[in-house]
Chain A
C-alpha cells in the first residue's frame, strides 16, 4: 500500500469527480447522466477510503464507515433516479433531458 503515494489516489479521485461533473453537465440521455452521477459519487468514496488507509492507527475507522455508508447512499439515489426515468418514459416516451422543456417558457 505504501508503495503508491497518496497524492496519486487524490489525483485519480479528482479526475473521477471531473469526469462525473462533465458528464452531468453535458449528457442528454438520463441513463448516461445517472452513470455520471455514480462516477462523481465514487470519487468521494475513493477519497474516504484513501484517507482512512493513510491516516494510521485508529483514525481510519470513521473514513471506512463513511465509505460503506456512501456506497449505500449512491445505490439509493440511483434507485430513485431510475424510478423518475421510468415514470417520465411512460408519460413522455423519451428519456432525453434536452427534450424536457415544458417548464421555463
Chain B
C-alpha cells in the first residue's frame, strides 16, 4: 500500500500534532510548522506520482498503475485527474496553513486548527481517488465532519459557533440525502461500484429508482458545492467562520463536491460523456439513457448558480459576504464543465478549480490579514487602502481582477478554456457558454467597486496601529502565502501550458478509463 503514502503522511502528521497537544506542546509556530511540512511532503509525493520529473525519485505509484479501468470490486482507483485534484487540494491546504502561521500566537486551539485542517485535506485527497460510491461519500463525510469543527474551533466566539451550527445542520441534511440516494442506486443495480453504476444506465435494474437516487445525490452533493438552490448556508458560514477557515472552505473543501460529481457522472462508460465506441465491456447503450436528462439538469443548475451568485454579490456591503456569493457563482462555472462533459470541458473545469483555489483562498487570506490591521468588515472600510498599503492592495486587486476574468490572469484563461469547450460541444451548450460570458461581465461590476473604494476613496481619518508583526502587521507566513498566490495568478495567466497541458491529457485519460 505504498501508493497511499501521501494520505499516510497527512494522517501521521495530524496524529503527531494531536499528540504534541496532549503532551503540552501548544505553540502555534511549532504545530503550524509541522503541518506545513507534512503538507509539503504529501504534495511532493503526489507531484512525483503525477510524473513531475524533478521529483521522480519520490515516486511510489508506478506509472503502469495509473489510469487503468478499475475492477468492479475496486474501492479506489488512481487516475491522473484524481491525482491532479489531490495536488490542487494540497495546494489549497498549504496556502491556508502557511498563512495561519501568522495568526495571533497566544491563540488557543492551534492543534485543533492544524490537525483538523490535515484531516479534512486527507478526506479531500481520498475522495479524489474513489471508485466506489460509499467510499466516496465517506471521504466527503470526513471532510464535512472536520470542517464543521474547524468553523467552530474558537470555542468562545458566538459568531463562529453559530456558523458551525448552521454548517452542521445543512451538512447533516446533505449527508442523509446523499446516502439515501446511494441506497436507491444500490437497490436499482445491486452494487455501489462507480464502474458498474455508470455501465448500468440502460434498461437493466430499476431505472425509476436509479433516477430518484441520482436526483437525491445531486441535491446532497450540491449542498457541498454550494449549487443554487442549495447555497443559502454558504454565505452565513463563510461570514461567521474565522476568515482563514473561510479561505479553506471556499477555496478548498467545497471542491470535494465537484470531485464527487466528476466521479459520479463522467467516466469510461459514463452517464454523460458521448462514448467513443458504441459498446464498452460488452455493455451497450440502450434506449433508456439518463445522459440527456442529467446533462440538461446540471446545465440549468450551472446557469442558475452563476447568475444568482453574481446578482446577490452585487448587493452585498460586507467584504466576506461579497466574496462568498462570488464563490457560489464560480461553482456555477465549474458545474458547467460537468454538464458539457467532454474531455476539454473537464480540463477547463479542473483548471478553473485550480485558479479558484489561488484567487479565492488568496482573497480570503488577504481579508484575514487586513482585518488584523484593524479594518472593519464592510467594503467601505477598505477605503484608501491603495494609498496606505500599496503592495497589499495591489495583490488583492490582482486577485479580484483574476476572479473577474481580466486577460493576463489565470482567471481569464480558465474561463476561456471552459467556455470554448462548451462552444465546441455545440447544441444548447453554446447558450451555456453565452450565459457564462454574460455572467463574467456582470461580475466585473462588484469587483470594480472594491477597486474604486481602495484606490479612489480617501483614507479614514483615524487608522489603528498595526500589530507588531513583520511586513507591517501581516506576518511572514501570510505574506509568503499571498506572494505565492500572486506569482501563481500571473505565471499561469501568462503561460498556462505547463499545468494546462497535463490537465488536458489527464482529462482525456479520465474520459476513457475511469473510474
Interchain CB contact under 8 A, B192 and A21: no
CA distance A45 to B158 in the complex (A): 34
Q: Which residue of B lies closest to A55 (CB)?
A: B190
CA distance A8 to B177 in the complex (A): 20
Q: Is the interface of B mostly helix, strand, loop or mixed?
A: helix
CA distance A45 to B168 in the complex (A): 20
Q: A37 — which chain B residues lie within 8 A by C-beta?
A: 169, 172-173, 176
Q: What mask results when residues 50 to 62 of chain A are scored 1 for a CB within 8 Å of chain B, else 0?
A: 1100010001001
Given contacts A47-B183, A83-B149, contact A91 B156 (CB under 8 A): yes
Q: B155 — which chain A residues lie within 8 A by C-beta?
A: 87, 90-91
Asked if A103 is an interface residue, CB under 8 A from chain B, the answer is: yes
CA distance A45 to B186 in the complex (A): 12
Q: A50 — which chain B residues lie within 8 A by C-beta?
A: 187
Q: Which of A33, A83, A103 contacts B169 (CB 8 A)?
A: A33
CA distance A33 to B141 in the complex (A): 19
Cβ < 8 Å to B, chain A residues 48-105: 48, 50-51, 55, 59, 62-63, 66, 69-70, 73, 76-77, 80-81, 83-85, 87-88, 90-92, 97, 100, 102-104
Residues of B with Cβ closer than 8 Å to A?
134, 138, 141, 145, 148-149, 152, 155-159, 161-166, 168-169, 172-173, 175-177, 179-180, 182-184, 186-187, 190-192, 235-236, 239-240
Residues of A with Cβ closer than 8 Å to B?
10, 13, 17, 20-21, 24, 30, 33, 37, 40-41, 43-45, 47-48, 50-51, 55, 59, 62-63, 66, 69-70, 73, 76-77, 80-81, 83-85, 87-88, 90-92, 97, 100, 102-104
Provide 22 A-B residue pairs closer than 8 Å at the C-beta atoms, listed in order of the A residue. A24-B172, A37-B176, A40-B177, A41-B176, A41-B179, A45-B183, A47-B180, A47-B186, A51-B183, A51-B187, A59-B191, A66-B182, A76-B145, A80-B145, A80-B149, A88-B165, A91-B161, A92-B158, A103-B163, A103-B166, A103-B236, A103-B240
